[in-house]
């Protein structure tokens, strides 16, 4: 059995959702189930063209014959699966059908993805822990110059901060804008990770050494 994970991009989930959202019968969840089951089967068989009879799929997903027929048709229309009927050596169609599962991630792609995500997540956790252990709540952590685009009273503003602090373990700052005005700002999670890593790297906690060890051990 393949140890490769089942990785489904959000675009695929959105494609299925948008396909059904305006239909009188919404089979979004069932379509997810059939596609994921076939994807997993592709992993087990180590081939994107899987041998999966209707009875096998029905048993695996827990749906009836008519529902499976409709959902397979929908998945084909969405371009997520394709029915393949090979020919024998004489050019005649065989009795067996295969299902080609689209958008199955290759091993090198998943290896790169999970290595990078695991490494970045570990670096973030170490950096955050180092800062929390070495700075009290509300104690300023000096940094470089950071800008954030926000809306204040319906107007787009650029705010800037040169130090940060933690409140309830959440990264915040006192930012300046518009000629000296100040605002207390909670750093969005999508930006906080990179900033926390950079903040830890600026101090004497040997974060560069820890990071080097992490990179060498993977």
> Which of 58, 75, 104 is the last residue in one of the domains?
104
pLDDT of the residue at 143: 83
The DSSP bridge pattern shows strands 155-167 and 98-101 to be unpaired
Exposed/middle/buried for residue 74 (C-beta within 10 Å: 0-12, 13-18, 19+): buried
Indicate if 18 and 119 belong to the same structural domain: no
pTM (global) more than 0.75: no
- List, for residues 148-194, the tens digit of each pLDDT value: 999 888 888 899 999 999 999 899 999 998 878 899 999 998 889 88
In a domain, 4, yes or no: no
Indicate if 25 and 79 belong to the same structural domain: yes
pLDDT of the residue at 70: 97
pLDDT of the residue at 217: 43
pLDDT of the residue at 207: 52
Indicate if 211 and 169 belong to the same structural domain: yes
pLDDT of the residue at 42: 92
In a domain, 74, yes or no: yes
> Which of 65, 82, 104 is the last residue in one of the domains?
104
pLDDT of the residue at 7: 81
User: Where residue 42 sits, what CATH number does that domain have?
Assistant: 1.10.10.10
pLDDT of the residue at 209: 47
pLDDT lower than 50: segments of the chain: 209, 212-213, 216-218
């Amino acid at each position: 059995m393949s140890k490769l994970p089942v990785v489904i991009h959000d675009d695929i989930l959105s494609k299925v959702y948008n396909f059904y959202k305006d239909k009188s019968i919404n089979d979004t969840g069932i379509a997810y189930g059939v596609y994921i089951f076939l994807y997993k089967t592709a992993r087990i068989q180590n081939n994107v063209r899987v041998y999966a009879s209707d009875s096998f799929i029905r048993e695996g997903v827990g749906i009836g014959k008519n529902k499976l027929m409709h959902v397979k048709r929908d998945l084909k229309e969405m371009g997520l699966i394709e029915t393949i009927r090979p020919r024998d050596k004489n050019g005649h169609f065989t009795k067996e059908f295969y299902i080609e599962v689209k958008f199955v991630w290759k091993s090198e792609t998943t290896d790169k993805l999970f290595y990078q995500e695991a490494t970045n997540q570990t670096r973030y956790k170490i950096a955050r822990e180092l800062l929390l252990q070495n700075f009290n709540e509300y104690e300023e952590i000096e940094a470089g110059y950071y800008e954030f685009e926000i809306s204040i009273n319906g107007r787009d503003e650029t705010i800037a901060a040169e130090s940060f602090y933690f409140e309830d373990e959440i990264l915040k700052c006192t930012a300046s804008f518009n000629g000296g005005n100040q605002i207390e700002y909670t750093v969005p999670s999508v930006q906080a990770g990179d900033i926390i890593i950079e903040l830890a790297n600026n101090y004497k906690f040997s974060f560069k050494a820890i990071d080097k060890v992490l990179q060498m051990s993977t």
